[in-house]
Amino acid sequence: MFDQVGDSVKAQLMTIGYEGANIADFIATLQASNVTTLIDVRELPLSRKKGFSKNKLRQQLEESGIAYLHVKQLGDPKPGRLAARAGNMNEFRRIFGDHIKLDATREALQEVVPVIEAGGACLLCFERCHSDCHRSIVADELAKLADFELAHIGVKQGIAKQH
């Protein structure tokens, strides 16, 4: 969770997507990665996947000792989601690039920094691959505001059965 850098300790920010995962493996992966706060960066924290909609997810995380924070402003706006779904990644990046420059989005980024600096923070979105997801852009912007190690983690299939 932390790396020693001289006499100081550097926080780690993780990112994760739940595409193709079940909730038990998802939570077990977070626990194995020492996540203490999950930062949900979905604009609409709803899911057809069982257990991944906001209230149910929050409940299960809290029962597992993990705090939940939804930051709607850091979510990808609908036009960006539609562009990504259509495979138009350049349009998706342009739309989210404009969104990340908004004052409200800059404020939301600033509000998340103390959570990251406290350690154990992880950004959540749907896509399994971070490079296809706006959470990578959010993480890159946060790296301009805070000093942390970045780790993109994946849900380990079957890990829940091992615990």
User: Is residue 111, in this structure, part of any structural domain at all?
Assistant: yes
Looking at this protein, which amino acid is placed at residue 74?
L
Tell me how far apart the terminal alpha carbons of the chain are, to the nearest angstrom.
20
More confidently predicted of 11 and 76: 76
Count of domains observed in the chain: 1
d(CA 70, CA 68): 7
User: Is residue 125, in this structure, part of any structural domain at all?
Assistant: yes
**pLDDT band at residue 2 under the 50/70/90 scheme:** very low
Helical residues (DSSP H) of the chain, grouped into ranges: 23-32, 54-63, 78-85, 89-100, 103-117, 134-143, 159-162
Q: Which residues share a beta bridge with 17?
A: 125
User: Is residue 1, in this structure, part of any structural domain at all?
Assistant: no
Q: What is the mean pLDDT of the chain?
A: 93
Structural domain boundaries enclosing 18: 10-162
User: Is residue 2, in this structure, part of any structural domain at all?
Assistant: no
User: Is residue 5, in this structure, part of any structural domain at all?
Assistant: no
Helix-strand-coil split of the chain, %, nearest 5: 45, 20, 35
User: Is residue 63, in this structure, part of any structural domain at all?
Assistant: yes
pLDDT in tens, 78-96: 999 999 999 999 999 999 9
pLDDT at 4 over 50: no
* pLDDT confidence of residue 5: 45
Can you read off the two tokens belonging to residue 80?
Answer: 């960006």
* pLDDT confidence of residue 161: 81
Average pLDDT over residues 17-35: 96
pLDDT in tens, 51-72: 999 999 999 999 999 999 999 9
Q: What is the CATH number of the domain that holds 66?
A: 3.40.50
User: Is residue 4, in this structure, part of any structural domain at all?
Assistant: no
User: Is residue 19, in this structure, part of any structural domain at all?
Assistant: yes
